[in-house]
Structure 1
Amino acid sequence: SQRVFTMPTLFLHPPSHSPSTATSFHPFLLTLLFITLISSLLAAEPCFFGWGKNDEGELSTGDKNHVLQPSPFGNGVLYKKNITHIAAGVTHSVVVDSEGRAYCFGSNNFGECGQGVTGGNYPDPREIVSIDTFNHKKIVHASVSKFRTYLRDEKGNVYYCGKNDFSEVSPQLYNEPMGFVFRQSISCVSVSEHILILSQGQVFGFGSNSVGQLGIGKTSENEPLPVTVNTTGILPGKRITQISAGGQHSLLLSSDGQVFGFGQNRHGQLGIGLTSEKEPRPIAVNTTGVLQGKIIIQISAGLVHSLVLSSDGQVFGFGDNTYGQLGIGRITWSEKLPIAVNTTGALQGKRIVQMSAGTTHSLVLSS
């Protein structure tokens, strides 16, 4: 039977398995990483783990106690469910099962849990149910950002619920998932206070750039139009295959399994071995320690911490760990170099196939 476990992390990003093109979403919602989950790459009975801050029940442990090490769960509506996709947000999380149903847990202050109401929190998972445009849809991918939830169905349609807090549109509350169509194809998009877009191996960004989180080689208050990430330093010849926008930092993954970052590094969230207020140019994550010889296949930038997944199913983290969001079994102010997630307990013998870094919590899915 399947078991679920919990840990701390942030925002929206898909697994590293063969990305699909986003073909259907609202033009204002350039905030998603749409990558179709290849179910054949996941075992029949995956396990779900989590750790970190749990004030709003975002780890679905049934209580609000913080979790320092990977912890399993899976009772209630998730009992015996085959979980195929996970997404960790600020104070809520979403999982998708093999039947195409989505479940949410954590804060619902802005209707982000898709229950048709606002307010309160759900420490136990609840299935997202909604209006006619959403009913009977098979969901294959979920993404979350701040107070919103995004769901993508097998036909490429995207639905969202929660607070509309982007500057491009007037604030408006959506209590139930709403579907929209976008008429342009892109590889993937990731959003925070800044937005990254990946198209044909090139990375573009716009929005906040106060600490160099757009990677253009300089800082600026805001870039209202898309700009190209600086490739004159360590990126020439690199083909970028994945992007992830954190709180005020960004991560890039190249086709050869290398990770690069830029933006704020106050807590060591760029994994370069030191802290700094800002890094406006792409810089390589340190690989002289636990990452030596590892090929990275997935990246996830949280609020002020980062996670990476290697090809052999190991998870490593760096940055802020004040709530245990790095899953190393102890609280620390920061970890400047990549460090392995603790696997002596619930994760022992598990091969991780997907992960997601939230604000102060993290989620992983194992085979």
Structure 2
Amino acid sequence: MNDCLFFGSNQLPTIFENELNKITKTIQFENENENENENEKQIKQISTGCFSTIFLFENGKAIEYVTENPSKIKIEENIQKVTVGCSNEAILTIEGNVFVKEEDINPQNPNEFINISSLIEDTNDRIIEDIVSGANSIYLLTSNQNIYGIGSNEYGQLGFDSKTLEETEKPILMMKNVSKIFSGNSSYHIFLLNSNQELFGCGNNEYGQVGLGESKKEETKIQKLTKIQNIPKGKIIDIQCGMFHSIMLIEDQNENENPKRKLYSCGDSQFNGLGRREDTYEFTEIKSSLFENDYIIEISVGCDHTLILAYNSKLIGFGDNSYGQLGIEDTRLESTPIQIELPKLRFNENISNYHVSCGYYESFLYYSPFLSNLEEDLIKTI
């Protein structure tokens, strides 16, 4: 058995019939074969966006939910990662190929996945190591540590002048010597970390979400990759981007102490996604007694809500809760971090074996210690 907790607006009507908002449900996937190895029954990854959710399993197969029609994703190669934005879905295979479904990229067959890594002009750059979706753009990190973008460039999120390049159906080179890509399923901005641990950003900055500081808050479009100044001290572990804000996880590696992780945010506080009550246009620490002396394992950001996994405090959240996406009973907005009460889960003795995935108005908490397979169990529920 595997435990997967879902809360928020119902994106899975086949499973949750006649229920709309404020659902908090535990999805339990039963195994038909009692003798099957426990490691073969785990979800590997869940990625969810505005209109679709993809479940990925350890055997390299995936199931896609679009409205009420769940279906297997038919790709012959084993899948190692999936990513979903507002208007796109992308799949990275173990072989290093990327398949994308997006109406603007493939207008003739918008419901079919096409191989876009084969469209990179430099044939030496066609092996992909990582993929990340923005709201309507997709980013590819190659084995040569080069970053390519494809899709919409409406806000300059591909790092080019949006007046001369509004969108592209082929991957275009954005930057070389990149170690990590950061964006989000509702985000129209992006961050790139280079091999020297320098951070660059571009895209929509209407609410200061690119983190360039007070002097740049009037620049609503950052159309050129720009170095982010005044980055907090420490190693950047992750940056999760919402529509109006960004959340950064930093690890302070002091030689005399155990590593500590801290959260920082930037953007406009009116949407309650910052973890604080005041605006900030550069990355500023989110302070809370819930994780001050704890170790943050993982973060996930939706349109305007955030979930945090921490060793002792378990699950913590803040931001928009109008659809119950924080997993609390009422729908009040939580501008500062709160601890979320969870029903008893089978494997809740070690929260580090869990993962969080935030969609626009929904969230998943799921158990995946071995990144194993639950495909047949999920099929049984639909």
State TM-score, norm by structure 2: 0.59
In angstroms, what is the RMSD of aligned CA positions?
4.8
1:216 to 1:179, Cα distance in 2 relative to 1, 3 A: closer
Q: Which runs of 5+ in 1 are unaligned?
A: 10-42, 66-72
Aligned partner (choices 265, 272, 279) of residue 268 of structure 1? 272
Q: What is residue 129 of structure 1 aligned with on the other side?
A: 115
Q: What is residue 242 of structure 1 aligned with on the other side?
A: 238
SS in 2 for 1:307: strand
Figure out how many residues of one structure are paired with residues of the other and give that number. Answer: 305
Hey, what's the Cα distance between the residues in 1 that align with 2:75 and 2:140? Answer: 22
Hey, what's the Cα distance between the residues in 2 that align with 1:306 and 1:201? Answer: 25
Q: What is residue 333 of structure 2 aligned with on the other side?
A: 334
Tell whether the 8 Å contact from 2:208 to 2:282 is kept in structure 1 after alignment. yes
Aligned partner (choices 52, 56, 78) of residue 57 of structure 1? 52
Aligned partner (choices 206, 210, 219) of residue 222 of structure 1? 219
Tell whether the 8 Å contact from 1:88 to 1:362 is kept in structure 2 after alignment. no
Hey, what's the Cα distance between the residues in 2 that align with 1:95 and 1:345? Answer: 30
| Aligned: 1:254 with 2:250 | yes
1:63 to 1:208, Cα distance in 2 relative to 1, 3 A: closer
Tell whether the 8 Å contact from 1:212 to 1:263 is kept in structure 2 after alignment. yes
% identical equivalent positions: 19
* Offset, 1:269: 1.3
Aligned partner (choices 154, 171, 180) of residue 178 of structure 1? 171
Hey, what's the Cα distance between the residues in 1 that align with 2:343 and 2:96? Answer: 30
Tell whether the 8 Å contact from 2:237 to 2:249 is kept in structure 1 after alignment. yes
SS in 1 for 2:239: strand
Q: What is residue 150 of structure 1 aligned with on the other side?
A: 139
Deviation digits for residues 221-253 of structure 1, max 9, x if unmatched?
Answer: 11757364446xxx4x54444333332212222
Aligned partner (choices 107, 120, 126) of residue 117 of structure 1? 107
Which amino acid is 1:332 matched to? T
Tell whether the 8 Å contact from 2:299 to 2:309 is kept in structure 1 after alignment. yes
Deviation digits for residues 284-342 of structure 1, max 9, x if unmatched?
Answer: 324323x354312444443322233446896543211334443x265624223244485
* Offset, 1:259: 0.6
Q: What is residue 302 of structure 1 aligned with on the other side?
A: 302
Higher share of residues assigned helix: 2
Hey, what's the Cα distance between the residues in 2 that align with 1:345 and 1:79? Answer: 33
Tell whether the 8 Å contact from 1:297 to 1:310 is kept in structure 2 after alignment. yes
1:262 to 1:173, Cα distance in 2 relative to 1, 3 A: closer
SS in 2 for 1:85: strand
Which amino acid is 2:304 matched to? V
Hey, what's the Cα distance between the residues in 2 that align with 1:118 and 1:316? Answer: 43
| Aligned: 1:319 with 2:319 | yes
